C-alpha cells in the first residue's frame, strides 16, 4: 500500500519548506533511514531519511518548489501490506487522505504578510503547488497595486531591483537558492529595521594562549565566555526591541555563524553562560560540523539572543556584520595576528584581534555599546583562564 511522504514540520515557526534535491530517483529502491530528500527552510537545511524500505513510486513535487508544511510531496511503495501511521526523523507517514474540494489553505507566513500590507488573499492568484498563494505572490500583488511613484526617491528607500534579462555573451546566470533568497531578504529587512551602528575594539589574546594550547581549543570558546560574562554586567545587550518596550532576556543563548558552500547558518549554543570552555569548544565544533553536513535539528537554529561571527577564520581583519533580528547586536571577530604594540612604553609583539560590535541604536547608545565591549576586551585579556575550563 502506498505511503504518503509529506513536507515535515521542521520547527514551531516554520510554515513551509523548499525541496532542494531528491536523493533517490523515481522508482528507485530505498532502505529504511536512507536519506530520501534534502529539504531547506529559512532556518535550516537537512536531509530527511526514509521511514521504511521500499520503492519511491511517485514524486509529486519537483526540486526547487516551496510547499507548505503537510503537503504530500511523494509516495513510497512499501512492502508492508497494511497502512502505516508513523513519525520517523521528522517525516509523517500516513494513509492517503481525501482532500476537501475547494478548501483554501494559506501558510501563517503568507497570512501575516497579507495582514501587514492589507491584502485580501482571495484577490491574489497563487502560483505555488496546487495554486497555493506564496509570499512572492503577495509581494507582487502589492507592487502591482501600488500607485506609480515620482522619479525622486528618498535616500532611505530601498533601491529598485534590476529587471531580469537574458544573459549576453560573456555572462552567466547563477540560479539563486532558497537559502540565498532568504538570507538576502532577512539582511535587507534587518538594515531597514534596526538603526545599525558599529564600534571597534582591539584585544590582546596572549593571556589565553597557554590555556588554549594546552587544552587544544580554538579562540571561539574564549570569546563566547567573555561575551556571556560581559552580558551579566550589561544585560541590555541580551535583549530585543518591541512596540511594548525593550525585552531583556534572562537566558543567554549564543548563535555562532557558520559559513556554508551556498549560504550561512547560525546554530545556537543554549545557556552558553553556564558552560565551561571545554564544553563550549565541543559544542561549537559539533554544531559547525553538522551545519555543514546538513544534520542540524530545527530547534538548534532557534532561540538565539546574541550572535558571534568569526570572519577572521578566512583572514579578515575588520567587518561590519548585520544584526540577526530580533536581536540587538552581533559581534564580529577578526583574525588573530601578531602585531607590534606599545606596552608600558615599550614595543612588544602580541597576538592581537579586532572586535566589532554592530548594535541597534534604537535600543542602546554608543556609550553602552562601548561599555559592553570594554568588558569583553577585559575578560579576553585576563590570564586566569584555567578556572573557566
In a domain, 83, yes or no: yes
Are 208 and 319 found together in one domain?
yes
Are 242 and 347 found together in one domain?
yes
The count of structural domains within the chain is 3
pLDDT tens, 284-308?
Answer: 999 999 888 888 887 888 899 999 9
pLDDT tens, 82-101?
Answer: 344 343 343 444 443 443 44
- Cell 513535487 sits at which residue? 61
Catalytic-role residue among 33, 130, 251, 365: 365
Give me the sign of the Cα torsion angle 243, 248, 249, 250: negative
- Alpha-carbon distance 286 to 268, whole Å? 11
In a domain, 278, yes or no: yes
Are 359 and 248 found together in one domain?
yes
- Cell 515620482 sits at which residue? 150
In a domain, 131, yes or no: yes
Classify each residue of 132-168 as buried b or exposed e, where b means 16 or more C-beta atoms within 10 Å of its C-beta: bbbbebbeebbeeeeeeeeeeeeeeeeeeeeeeeeee
Catalytic-role residue among 105, 361, 370, 384: 361
Are 85 and 113 found together in one domain?
no
Are 243 and 345 found together in one domain?
yes
Are 318 and 231 found together in one domain?
yes
Domain ranges, residue 119: 108-137
Query: Which residue ranges in the chain fall short of pLDDT 70?
Result: 1, 9-14, 42-43, 79-110, 112, 116, 128-130, 146-166, 178
And the C-alpha cell for 341?
Answer: 604594540
Q: Is 365 a catalytic site residue? A: yes
pLDDT at position 82, please? 36
Are 25 and 77 found together in one domain?
yes
Cβ atoms 174, 167 nearer than 8 A: no
Are 296 and 329 found together in one domain?
yes
pLDDT at position 114, please? 78
CATH number at 299 reads 3.30.559.10
Last residue of a domain, one of 42, 67, 94: 94
In a domain, 313, yes or no: yes
Are 265 and 121 found together in one domain?
no
pTM score over 0.75: no
Are 120 and 269 found together in one domain?
no
pLDDT at position 92, please? 41
pLDDT at position 263, please? 78
In a domain, 175, yes or no: no
In a domain, 291, yes or no: yes
Are 349 and 225 found together in one domain?
yes
In a domain, 314, yes or no: yes
In a domain, 47, yes or no: yes
Amino acid at each position: 500500500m502506498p505511503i504518503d511522504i509529506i513536507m515535515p514540520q521542521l520547527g514551531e515557526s516554520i510554515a513551509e519548506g523548499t525541496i532542494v534535491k531528491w536523493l533517490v530517483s523515481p522508482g528507485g529502491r530505498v532502505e529504511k533511514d536512507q536519506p530520501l530528500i534534502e529539504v531547506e527552510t529559512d532556518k535550516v537545511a537537512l536531509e530527511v531519511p526514509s521511514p521504511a524500505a521500499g520503492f519511491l513510486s511517485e514524486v509529486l513535487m519537483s526540486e526547487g518548489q516551496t510547499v507548505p508544511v503537510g503537503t504530500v510531496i511523494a509516495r513510497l511503495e512499501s512492502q508492508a501490506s497494511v497502512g502505516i501511521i508513523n513519525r520517523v526523523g521528522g517525516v509523517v507517514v500516513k494513509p492517503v487522505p481525501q482532500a476537501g474540494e475547494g478548501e483554501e489553505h494559506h501558510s501563517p507566513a503568507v497570512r501575516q504578510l497579507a495582514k501587514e500590507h492589507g491584502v485580501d488573499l482571495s484577490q491574489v492568484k497563487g502560483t505555488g503547488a496546487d495554486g497555493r498563494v506564496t509570499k512572492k505572490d503577495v509581494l507582487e500583488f502589492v507592487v502591482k497595486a501600488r500607485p506609480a511613484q515620482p522619479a525622486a526617491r528618498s535616500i532611505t528607500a530601498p533601491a529598485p531591483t534590476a529587471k531580469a534579462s537574458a544573459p549576453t555573451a560573456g555572462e552567466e546566470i547563477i540560479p539563486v537558492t532558497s537559502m540565498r533568497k532568504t538570507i538576502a531578504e532577512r539582511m535587507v529587512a534587518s538594515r531597514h529595521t534596526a538603526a545599525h551602528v558599529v564600534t571597534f575594539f582591539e584585544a590582546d589574546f596572549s593571556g589565553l594562549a597557554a590555556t588554549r594550547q594546552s587544552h587544544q581549543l580554538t579562540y571561539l570558546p574564549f570569546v563566547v565566555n567573555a561575551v556571556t560574562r560581559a552580558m551579566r554586567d550589561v544585560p541590555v545587550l541580551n535583549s530585543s526591541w518591541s512596540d511594548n518596550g525593550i525585552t531583556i532576556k534572562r537566558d543567554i543563548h549564543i548563535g555562532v555563524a557558520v559559513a556554508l558552500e551556498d549560504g550561512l547558518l547560525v546554530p545556537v549554543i543554549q545557556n552558553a553562560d553556564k558552560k565551561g570552555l571545554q564544553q563550549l569548544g565541543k559544542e561549537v565544533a559539533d554544531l559547525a560540523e553538522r551545519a555543514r553536513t546538513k544534520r542540524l535539528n530545527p530547534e538548534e537554529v532557534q532561540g538565539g539572543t546574541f550572535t558571534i561571527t568569526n570572519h577572521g577564520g578566512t583572514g579578515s581583519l575588520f567587518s561590519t556584520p548585520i544584526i540577526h533580528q530580533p536581536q540587538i547586536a552581533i559581534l564580529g571577530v577578526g583574525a588573530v595576528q601578531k602585531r607590534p604594540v606599545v606596552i608600558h612604553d615599550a614595543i612588544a609583539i602580541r597576538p592581537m584581534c579586532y572586535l566589532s560590535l554592530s548594535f541597534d541604536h534604537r535600543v542602546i547608545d554608543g556609550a553602552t555599546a562601548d561599555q559592553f565591549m570594554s568588558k569583553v576586551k577585559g575578560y579576553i585579556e585576563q590570564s586566569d583562564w584555567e578556572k573557566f575550563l
